[in-house]
Amino acid sequence: MFSALKSDLLGRIQNSVALLTLVRGAHKKAGGSKTYMQDSPGKRLGPKKHEGEKVSVGQIIMRQRGTKWYPGSNVGIGKDHTLFAMEPGYVRYYLDPFHPKRKFIGIALGKDERLPYEHFDATHRRLGRTVLENPVAAKREEEYMSRKESLALPEILKEKGIRDQRRAAKIALLAKRLPEFIPELDDESVSLAAERLGAIDGFLRGGKSLEDARFYATYNYNYDLKLRLDATKEVTPEISEELKKKYAELVNIVDSRVMFDAKFNLCKNLTDEEREQKKQENVAALKELIPDANIPVDKKVKIQAWGLIEDTCFSLSERLHLKRRFLKPVLPESAELLGDEKTKNTVAISRMNYDTRRVETVYRLKKGFLGQRVN
């Protein structure tokens, strides 16, 4: 029975083999295993420098695939994850508690130093530079400019030259105008006072108050004098004391006589009380001059009002407020300020009337506008 079964099975297999041979195609499939012919030479990975070994800058410490080891202190990593030394020192293989899953390779700067360094310690750094003792080399190095600097320098020097010129011109102008306010000053004092006023002007333009500007002008002078006495020993203590005293006297005179107004023009000094009083007087005068700002005034009054508003007692914002209060750029459109037709005294204004849905032309008298500033 078994042999009969066997012969039957064999016969079936033979039949199926015969069938398979029938469907063979024109091309023969390349045979072989999936991993056949896939070997490559070894890449010589692994440590190139070991624990405690001395290295210099750029030496390779580890070749690896991926970051099996991470770069620690003073070690860099290449694009193929090669670790290399960035400082000369001693190789350390270590673990860092801040990154418990990583292994590190670092360079300790000293032979006996351990890594990682204490977390709150100042970083261990190497200067790595020498002082150039050769005067020629030192000079050459000092004068060396990067391309960026050498390109920018001419422009910077040009601008500085212009600034210096402007400053000198400003001080010369101040020195010229100062005798108008303080005639009794001698030439030396005038030039010193002009320097001081120039400094104050700069501080004011930078946003300091007049009081602060005066304080810092004095402070800087005394500070420089102290440096000349203590640091550079250019002046003796007696001369320094004398200069200081002289300057203090000059400050007293200059500050009590001149100041700068809101537009940085030199003018007569006003004490706080004088200033307040002058402000009140001017506002009272303006009220008298222009009782109702909505009624047009003639040119003469306008000029007078401008004069009162631009008095030295007012700051820039106060001037602006007063101008808005007394000299309105456009007066309200009252019946007296409307004209009937186009004349040389009227201005034609086209305006949409939303009720009639038509553009209307309104003729307004020119005196209803403040107009351009004249005086």
Partner 1 sequence: MSSVSKGIWSNFARRSQSLALRNRNLQKALLSPTLPHGPVSLKKRSSKDKYQSPIGMDEIYPLAYQYLESQSEKTYKKIEEIEKQLEEVADSTTKSQLKDRKTQLEVDAEVNNPEIIYNSLFGTNSIDRTQPVYRHYLEKQWKDYGRMLIMQRLETLAVIPDTLATLDPQVDVRLKFPGNNIERWIEPGDILSSNATCRPPSLEVIEFKESKNDLYTVLIVDPDTPDVENDSFSTTLHWGLKNVALSNEDGVIDAKKLVGNPEYEFVSYLPPTPEKNTGNHRIAVWVFRQAEGKKVDEGAVERGSFDIRKFAEENELTAVGAHLWRSVWDRNTENVRKMYGLGRGRIFSRDRN
Query: What residues make contact with partner 1 under the rule CB under 8 A?
Result: 119-132, 138, 141-142, 144, 202-203, 205-208, 212, 215-216, 219-220, 223-224, 227, 231-233
Query: At closest approach, how far in Å is the CB of 226 from partner 1?
Result: 9
123 contact partners, CB below 8 Å, separation of at least 6: 117
Q: What's the rounded Cα separation, in Å, for the pair 145 and 142?
A: 8
Query: At closest approach, how far in Å is the CB of 294 from partner 1?
Result: 14
Q: What's the rounded Cα separation, in Å, for the pair 111 and 259?
A: 68
Q: What's the rounded Cα separation, in Å, for the pair 224 and 180?
A: 29
Q: What's the rounded Cα separation, in Å, for the pair 306 and 296?
A: 15
Is residue 66 within 8 Å of 76, Cβ to Cβ?
no
The residues pairing with 105 across neighbouring beta strands, listed in sequence order, are 71, 93
Judged by beta carbon, residue 2 or residue 144, the one nearer partner 1 is: 144
Q: Return phi, psi of residue 63, to 5°.
A: -105, 135
Query: At closest approach, how far in Å is the CB of 250 from partner 1?
Result: 18
Query: At closest approach, how far in Å is the CB of 247 from partner 1?
Result: 15
The enclosing H or E element of 245 equals helix 237-257
Judged by beta carbon, residue 209 or residue 265, the one nearer partner 1 is: 209
Query: At closest approach, how far in Å is the CB of 163 from partner 1?
Result: 11
Query: At closest approach, how far in Å is the CB of 285 from partner 1?
Result: 26
Judged by beta carbon, residue 21 or residue 130, the one nearer partner 1 is: 130
Long-range CB pairs of 214-223, under 8 A, 24+ apart, other chains included = 214/251, 214/255, 218/247, 218/248, 218/251, 221/196, 221/247, 222/247
Judged by beta carbon, residue 113 or residue 310, the one nearer partner 1 is: 113
The residues pairing with 83 across neighbouring beta strands, listed in sequence order, are 62, 77
Judged by beta carbon, residue 294 or residue 343, the one nearer partner 1 is: 294
Taken in order 153, 156, 162, 163, is the CA torsion positive or negative? negative
Judged by beta carbon, residue 216 or residue 306, the one nearer partner 1 is: 216
Judged by beta carbon, residue 196 or residue 302, the one nearer partner 1 is: 196
Query: At closest approach, how far in Å is the CB of 140 from partner 1?
Result: 9
